[in-house]
Amino acid sequence: MGSAGTREFDVVVLGGGSTGENVADVVVRGGLTAALVEAELVGGECSYWACMPSKALLRGSEALAAARAVDGARQAVTGGQEVAATLARRDSFASNWDDSGQEKWVDDAGIELVRGVGRLDGERAVVVTAPDGGTVRLTARSAVAVCTGSAPRVPRVDGLRDVDPWTSREATSAQQVPGRLLVVGGGYVGCEMATAWAALGAQVTVLQRGQRLLATLEPEAGDAVAASLRALGVDVRLGTEVTAAHREGGEVVLATGDGELRGDEVLVATGRRARTDDLGVDTVGLEPGRYLDVDDTLRVRGVPWLYGVGDVNGRRQLTHMGKYQARQAGAAIVARARGEQASDADWAPTAATADRLATPSVVFTDPQVAAVGLSRARAQADGVPHRVVTHPIGSVGGAALHADGYSGTAVALVDPEREVLLGVTFVGPGVGELLHAATVAIVGEVPIPRLWHAVPSYPTISEVWLRLLEAYRG
């Protein structure tokens, strides 16, 4: 089919995931018109292939582990996890890969949904190719926001692309438990999916090129998760690099420095890449395949009408940070459209700073790892003065009540001159719910002497805050 002509909006948003939805919602609430362009499912990666389905896969084993950790409840657990029910519950959290509910939300929000593959086509213009082959040209009076996110990166290993590897998408949406799963990469995705599928009965091997899992986090995190995975029956191989891959019949065969490994499926979890390679960024003077370089209002440097929001700018590739950036970018677009700012020097209300100062994240393994702010390694690399304080979480009364034999660690980095927190990491069962208090303390730069007056309830795991303060005081 041919072209359907040109349509004009105040803002055109490329990518209908959670980031794009939030940009469009903010600008429409601000009185502008917006088109949301999406080629796949509205709601994006998080809703269908990442956050929601992965955590649904993990929740059953987490609930069973919590029950087994309490004497009296342990005796009531007489069976294992029911695989079919777990997968069905996962499917429900992914809306059975049906975005009609999200489509209704977009319509109710006053946003125009345009289905198809969108590409930049020069200044303030996007050409969308619809599923039937027809095209429409969208032009923007104020801004184009690129919210196309990131995609799994498959490393250049001989034969690896040819064995039809799983990425995070297949790992979170698989309809059967693999007999033998080889996991290449020991980061967030690799550790979570190894935990989930091992708990559902798969024989899992994790191959990590470095010497520690979760290498960007505190060492206590990677060590604890490796020990937990091994206790679950996972073969964790550190310092192991995959050099080649091929299939023999239905088997995946990986060549490594430790010899040959065989499995039914291989999950490649070795990082992400920007989805800008086939986006038409070259038509506005940018290099395809690169992350978009943005300022703190998420505006692309050198292209004043173009915004790069969420994973596509590479700043912090987490759903909640993409939504945060979306709110900030949307506010900046509205303010600029109204001419409310005299100059680019005064953008504090719309600047995105949290992704630089205090990005919270949780790894939903067993134990959980919850972290915000700087790690020891990052502070050392950046030359930031710091003092490290640690405390075993299991020593507080609330943790002992939470689980028999509770084992975990709290790590805090303190600026010794300003006496404010720089970073906090919790490792242990259920610690994800402790994280927001740490985030508030870091973002608010709450002085340590003031934190003494934030009294934790007794008996809760939050008592560990008091113990950290006592350890800092010495």
**pTM given for the model:** 0.94
Residue with tokens 């929740």: 59
State the Cα–Cα distance between residues 151 and 149, nearest whole angstrom: 7
Q: CATH code at 329?
A: 3.50.50.60
* pLDDT value of position 412: 98
Burial class (CB in 10 A: 0-12, 13-18, 19+), 441: buried
Would you say residue 309 lies in a domain?
yes
**Residues 140 and 21 both lie in one domain:** yes
**Residues 195 and 211 both lie in one domain:** yes
Q: Which of 254, 270, 286 is a domain's end point?
A: 270
Q: CATH code at 456?
A: 3.30.390.30
Q: Which of 354, 380, 411 is a domain's end point?
A: 354
Would you say residue 48 lies in a domain?
no
Would you say residue 75 lies in a domain?
no
User: What mean pLDDT is reported for the chain?
Assistant: 95
Q: Which of 214, 265, 251 is nearest to 236 (CA)?
A: 214
* pLDDT value of position 4: 64
**Residues 134 and 283 both lie in one domain:** yes
Q: What percent of the chain has pLDDT over 90?
A: 93
**Residues 438 and 459 both lie in one domain:** yes
Binding residues for FAD: 55, 118, 148-150, 311
Q: Which of 311, 327, 354 is a domain's end point?
A: 354
Condensed to tens digits (0 to 9), the pLDDT of residues 219-250 reads 999 999 999 999 999 999 999 999 999 999 98
Q: Quick count: other Cβ atoms within 10 Å of Cβ 260? A: 9
Condensed to tens digits (0 to 9), the pLDDT of residues 204-223 reads 999 999 999 999 999 999 99
**Residues 323 and 217 both lie in one domain:** no
Would you say residue 59 lies in a domain?
no
Would you say residue 79 lies in a domain?
no
**Residues 147 and 174 both lie in one domain:** no
Q: Is the dihedral of CA 156, 158, 162, 166 positive or negative?
A: negative
Binding residues: 55, 118, 148-150, 185-192, 271, 311
- Domains contained in the chain, number: 3
What sections of 127-218 are H helices per DSSP? 168-173, 188-199
Mean pLDDT throughout 135-149?
97
**Residues 107 and 236 both lie in one domain:** no
Question: 423: which strand partners?
Answer: 373, 413
Using the CB atoms, write b or e for 171-203: b if 16+ within 10 Å.
Answer: bbbbeebbebbbbbbbbbbbbbbbbbbbbbebb
- Which residue range forms the structural domain that includes residue 388? 367-473
* pLDDT value of position 342: 41
**Residues 264 and 278 both lie in one domain:** no
Residue 384 pLDDT exceeds 70? yes
Condensed to tens digits (0 to 9), the pLDDT of residues 153-166 reads 999 999 999 999 99
Question: 369: which strand partners?
Answer: 363, 427
**Residues 141 and 7 both lie in one domain:** yes
The gap from C-alpha 5 to its chain's centroid, in whole angstroms, comes to 38
Those residues whose C-beta lies under 8 Å from the C-beta of residue 3, and which sit 6 or more positions away, are 134, 135, 136, 137
Quickly state the pLDDT bin for 343 (edges 50, 70, 90). Answer: very low
Mean pLDDT throughout 34-48?
97
Residue 348 pLDDT exceeds 90? no
* pLDDT value of position 340: 66
Would you say residue 359 lies in a domain?
no
Q: Which of 224, 228, 192, 232 is nearest to 427 (CA)?
A: 224
* pLDDT value of position 258: 86
Condensed to tens digits (0 to 9), the pLDDT of residues 385-437 reads 999 999 999 999 999 999 999 999 999 999 999 999 999 999 999 999 999 99
Residue 349 pLDDT exceeds 70? no
Condensed to tens digits (0 to 9), the pLDDT of residues 113-134 reads 999 999 999 999 999 999 999 9
Would you say residue 54 lies in a domain?
no
Question: 253: which strand partners?
Answer: 246, 262
Mean pLDDT throughout 66-89?
96
**Residues 13 and 107 both lie in one domain:** yes
Would you say residue 56 lies in a domain?
no
Mean pLDDT throughout 438-445?
96
**Residues 409 and 465 both lie in one domain:** yes
**Residues 193 and 293 both lie in one domain:** no
Binding residues for NAD(+): 185-192, 271
Residue 351 pLDDT exceeds 90? no
